[in-house]
């Protein structure tokens, strides 16, 4: 573009005055370029003199090669500059509450979250969001090429057990009734297998109302998938291949420690690494080392001491491991007799000591599923009320099926070398579930509550 006249739009990133000459770095999502205002173009120079950081401008100018001695090898655009010929100030800006030119790690997180739209202007954050897009796009393309169909499932739905508390939404039309926000699309994806869709995926939002525990968000994103007639290896092999390709394409500087990813049994993981999510890296300080692994063969149930009852290690839809030549009747007898001794066709996906996903082959026999619900302490009427739709669907010709869900926020966090998932989510909430920018949760009008047949008890 040397000597061409161009028009640029963007933000004033910084300004320097050198003697009489004014230098502006103009910034957009793709980078920065130096713009020069010299006093011989008096009108524009005077307007340029007013510019302050973060103002939004339109600049017309001519691209000039910088003299060799003035080149800046640190900037991709460092060999050129724009000689300003026209300037329009499109909007002015207050002084930002914090410096946007740093990585932001020195700024209090509450302030960053309150002004998230400014925080996202900093290069580190903008890069995280763009890489998030690249990763999700890669996943969509890869799975589409492998015959998967992306399907949206409802957000207003009924409780699905993933072991957390539900967020619930009151129904206006049916007083006293509530929807639940999905903890995962688990039941829908299984029903899509009954529907004959064969291979489903979704970049799915999940909602879990958990107490503040480490780096969690009340809503988070999963890559959720399900397929029919799979072996466990079909699912693990697909994920392994997906990640190998993804890393090669988007993070060529990173090295996968071992491929195929090791499959470690749950028992070995506990015995050898004292963890069901072992960190297999050689050098834990090297951000470019990626140690993926699958942990397989989990127990089916765990005993919950506080509630004095059995709980599912994964979720109730997980398939128990059959012993050799065992019939379903024999299996049911066996797990009823000694729930603690049965194993599941369940697997976790681990990266650098973090659990980044999990899944299982599923139960598709109604009577086995009923048995599991009974062992978990559900009464017969409850089972019909909560899971009747699934049990019924399984009576209309259900293919064996299985799947997995991956925690995308965590995966992107690790790949971007970030310490928290909040750094890779555009508008995250605080650890205690607040949106400091929108100020949510918030009170609502009396009228809204009345419409919903709700009275609140304020403590």
46 vs 210, beta carbon nearer ligand ASP: 210
Q: Specify the residue for token string 């879990």.
A: 208
Residue 342: other Cβ atoms inside 10 A: 19
**Could you tell me which stretch among 209-217, 375-383, 403-411, 449-457 binds ligand ASP (CB under 6 A)?**
403-411
Q: Could you say which of 53, 128, 153, 186 contacts ligand ASP (CB under 6 A)?
A: 186
**What secondary structure does DSSP assign to 229-274, as a single string?**
S--HHHHHHHHHHHHHHHHHHH-TT-EESSSSPPEEEHHHIIIIIS
* Closest approach of ligand ASP to the CB of residue 360, in Å: 5
Is-contact 175 453, C-beta < 8 A? yes
Interstrand relation of 21-28 and 31-37 (parallel, antiparallel or unpaired): antiparallel
Q: Please list the residues that pair with 178 across neighbouring strands.
A: 170
Write each residue from 258 to 277 as x if it is in contact with ligand ASP (CB under 6 A), else as -, in one continuous string: --------------------
Is residue 405 involved in binding ligand ASP (CB under 6 A)? yes
Q: How far apart are alpha carbons 298 and 439 in whole angstroms?
A: 42
Is residue 403 involved in binding ligand ASP (CB under 6 A)? yes
Q: How many residues bind ligand ASP (CB under 6 A)?
A: 9
Is-contact 269 236, C-beta < 8 A? no
What would the two tokens of residue 213 be? 């525990």
* Closest approach of ligand ASP to the CB of residue 318, in Å: 7
Length of the chain: 459
Using a 10 angstrom Cβ sphere, with 0-12 exposed, 13-18 middle and 19 or more buried, the burial of residue 328 is middle
What would the two tokens of residue 160 be? 């699905």
335 vs 404, beta carbon nearer ligand ASP: 404
* Closest approach of ligand ASP to the CB of residue 326, in Å: 23
* Closest approach of ligand ASP to the CB of residue 371, in Å: 19
* Closest approach of ligand ASP to the CB of residue 58, in Å: 48
What would the two tokens of residue 372 be? 């599991």
Q: Could you say which of 53, 184, 217, 342 contacts ligand ASP (CB under 6 A)?
A: 184
CA distances to 44, 45, 111, 458 from 39, in Å: 8, 6, 40, 65
* Closest approach of ligand ASP to the CB of residue 208, in Å: 9
Write each residue from 337 to 366 as x if it is in contact with ligand ASP (CB under 6 A), else as -, in one continuous string: ---------------------xxx------
Q: Please list the residues that pair with 443 across neighbouring strands.
A: none
In the chain, count of helices (H) and strands (E)?
12, 19
12 vs 193, beta carbon nearer ligand ASP: 193
* Closest approach of ligand ASP to the CB of residue 405, in Å: 4
**Could you tell me which stretch among 208-216, 330-338, 386-394, 398-406 binds ligand ASP (CB under 6 A)?**
398-406
Write each residue from 409 to 438 as x if it is in contact with ligand ASP (CB under 6 A), else as -, in one continuous string: ------------------------------
Cis peptide before 441 (omega within 30 of 0): yes
**Could you tell me which stretch among 116-124, 193-201, 298-306, 397-405 binds ligand ASP (CB under 6 A)?**
397-405
* Closest approach of ligand ASP to the CB of residue 270, in Å: 20
What's 396's DSSP letter? S
Is residue 404 involved in binding ligand ASP (CB under 6 A)? yes
What would the two tokens of residue 389 be? 């739709």
Binding site for ligand ASP (CB under 6 A): 162, 184, 186, 358-360, 403-405
């Amino acid at each position: 573009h040397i000597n061409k006249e161009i028009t640029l739009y963007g933000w004033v990133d910084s300004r320097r005055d050198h003697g009489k000459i004014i230098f502006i770095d103009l910034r957009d999502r793709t980078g920065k370029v130096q713009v020069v205002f010299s006093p011989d173009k008096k009108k524009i120079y005077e307007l340029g003199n007013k510019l302050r950081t973060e103002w939004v401008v339109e600049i017309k100018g001519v691209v000039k090669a910088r003299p060799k001695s003035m080149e800046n090898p640190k900037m991709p655009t460092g060999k050129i500059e724009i000689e300003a010929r026209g300037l329009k100030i499109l909007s002015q800006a207050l002084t930002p509450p914090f410096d946007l030119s740093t990585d932001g790690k020195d700024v209090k997180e509450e302030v960053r979250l309150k002004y998230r739209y400014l925080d996202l202007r900093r290069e580190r954050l903008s890069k995280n969001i763009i890489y998030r897009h690249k990763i999700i796009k890669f996943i969509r393309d890869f799975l589409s090429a492998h015959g998967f169909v992306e399907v949206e499932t409802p957000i207003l739905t009924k409780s699905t057990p993933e072991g957390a508390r539900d967020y619930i939404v009151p129904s206006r039309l049916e007083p006293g009734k509530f929807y639940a926000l999905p903890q995962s699309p688990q039941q829908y994806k299984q029903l899509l297998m009954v529907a004959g869709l064969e291979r489903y995926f979704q970049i799915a939002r999940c909602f879990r109302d958990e107490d503040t525990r480490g780096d969690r968000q009340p809503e988070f994103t999963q890559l959720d998938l399900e397929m029919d007639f799979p072996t466990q290896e079909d699912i693990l092999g697909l994920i392994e291949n997906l990640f190998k390709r993804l890393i090669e394409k988007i993070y060529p500087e990173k090295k996968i420690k071992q491929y195929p990813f090791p499959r470690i049994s749950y028992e070995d993981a506990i015995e050898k690494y004292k963890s069901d999510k072992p960190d297999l890296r050689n050098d834990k300080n090297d951000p470019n080392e990626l140690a993926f692994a699958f942990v397989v063969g989990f127990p089916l149930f765990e005993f919950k001491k506080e509630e004095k009852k059995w709980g599912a290690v994964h979720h109730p839809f997980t398939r128990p491991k059959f012993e050799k030549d065992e019939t379903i009747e024999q299996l049911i007898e066996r797990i009823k007799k000694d729930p603690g001794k049965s194993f599941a066709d369940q697997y976790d996906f681990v990266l650098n000591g973090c659990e980044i996903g999990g899944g299982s082959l599923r139960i598709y026999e109604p009577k086995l599923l009923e048995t599991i619900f009974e062992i978990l302490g559900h009464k017969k009427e409850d089972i019909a009320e909560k899971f009747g739709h699934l049990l019924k669907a399984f009576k209309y010709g259900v293919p064996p099926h299985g799947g997995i869900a991956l925690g995308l926020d965590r995966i992107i966090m690790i790949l971007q070398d970030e310490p928290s998932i909040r750094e890779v989510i555009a508008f995250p909430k605080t650890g205690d579930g607040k949106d400091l920018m929108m100020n949510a949760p918030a009170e609502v009008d009396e009228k809204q509550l009345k419409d919903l047949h709700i009275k609140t008890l304020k403590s």
